[in-house]
Amino acid sequence: MEQDKRAAATLRLLGIMDELRAKCPWDRKQTFETLRDNTIEETYELADAILDGNMDGIREELGDLMLHIVFYSKLGQEAGAFDYADVVNDLCDKLIYRHPHVYGEIHADTPDEVKRNWEALKLRKKHRRSGTLGGVPVSLPAMVKAVRIGEKAAGAGFDWEKKEDVWAKVREEIGEVEAEMRKGDDKHMDEEFGDLFFALINACRLYGVDPEAALERTNRKFIRRFTSMEEQAEKQGRMLSELTLDEQEALWQQAKDEER
């Protein structure tokens, strides 16, 4: 029954897509290129809903993203390149190939073992001339890209022996940043800050922390507290910039206490 429900919903969506493409002026005008930015936006909206823990929002944004998948598949069909069935069947074949511990004879008892097998199989299957890191999309945001680079390098065996060892690298990079700051060398300072960020992102990876999500939570926390400071200053008939540093610190601590 559940399978029939899912199949019916999929056929309904595909039918609607066919009709929109045939009858709607806006949908008829779209191309792979015109949809690209919207797809990126929808992905970020889904990411926001996930961070908020908003299940209704996640459900809605998944639908919006599904529309884009179906839309691209329709465009591929019209171009004679591929259709929705090709996309789904290719995905099914890929999942089966990359889960030999489920569909084959390979054993993987932990998530880390599964991930290492996954990366090794990806590289073997595609025979990338550019090597292990060739599959990292160029247009990924820098932080997400750094995570994927670290994951792929680790999958090839290039990683710290123990996760605790990463902190020596972080401390080394902090020292190099401070050295360049003392020299006043802007070019090398920029480079060393990049190295420090990369080391910290690798630390996040090793400790199972999503750096993008962690930073966004901190962004939101800072916005809440800073806004509270401004509101409290306004109640005193003053601008935040008019307060002394000690007064600002007192309002910051008050904002923190209100969240506990």
Residue 126 within a domain: no
Residue 46 counted as domain residue:
yes
Would you say residue 98 lies in a domain? no
Structural domain harbouring 31: 2-84
Residue 109 amino acid letter: D
Query: How far, rounded to the nearest angstrom, does the alpha carbon of residue 70 sit from its chain's CA centroid?
Result: 22
**Residue 69 in domain:** yes
- More reliable by pLDDT, 57 or 125: 57
Q: Are residues 27 and 64 in the same domain?
A: yes
Place of tokens 């599959």: 135
**110-118: long-range pairs with CB below 8 Å, 24+:** 115/151, 115/155, 116/154, 116/155, 118/155
Q: Report the percentage of the chain scoring pLDDT > 90.
A: 70
240 and 203, same structural domain? no
- Please check whether residue 133 lies inside any domain of the structure: no
Question: What would the two tokens of residue 172 be?
Answer: 């080394």
- Pair (233, 179) in one structural domain: no
Structure tokens at 183: 């020299």
pLDDT of residue 98: 81
Residue 114 lies in a domain: no
Residues 179 and 220 in one domain: no
pLDDT of residue 105: 75
Task: Kindly state the average pLDDT of the residues 106-112.
Answer: 74
Let me know whether 171 and 218 are in one domain.
Answer: no
Band of the pLDDT at 200, cuts 50, 70, 90?
Answer: very high
Domain final residue, candidates 84, 109, 137: 84
**Stretch 187-193: mean pLDDT:** 90
CATH number at residue 37: 1.10.287.1080
SS3 content of the chain, % helix, strand, coil (to 5): 80, 0, 20
Residue type, 71: F
Confidence (pTM) = 0.66
Tokens for 123? 């590289």
Q: Residue 252's pLDDT band (boundaries 50, 70, 90)?
A: very high
pLDDT computed for residue 97 by the predictor: 85
Cβ atoms within 10 A of the Cβ of 189, count?
18
Q: What is the pLDDT of residue 135?
A: 77
Do both 10 and 72 map to the same domain?
A: yes
Co-location of 25 and 73 in the same domain = yes
Domain count, the chain: 3
Helix (H, G, I), strand (E, B) or coil at 186: helix
Could you tell me which residue, 106 or 54, shows the higher pLDDT?
Answer: 54
Any domain includes 39: yes
Mean residue pLDDT across the chain: 90
Residue 95: inside a domain, yes or no? no
67, 15: one domain: yes
Question: Predicted confidence band at 214 (pLDDT cuts at 50, 70, 90)?
Answer: very high
Cβ-based neighbours of 149, under 8 Å, separated by 6 or more: 133, 136
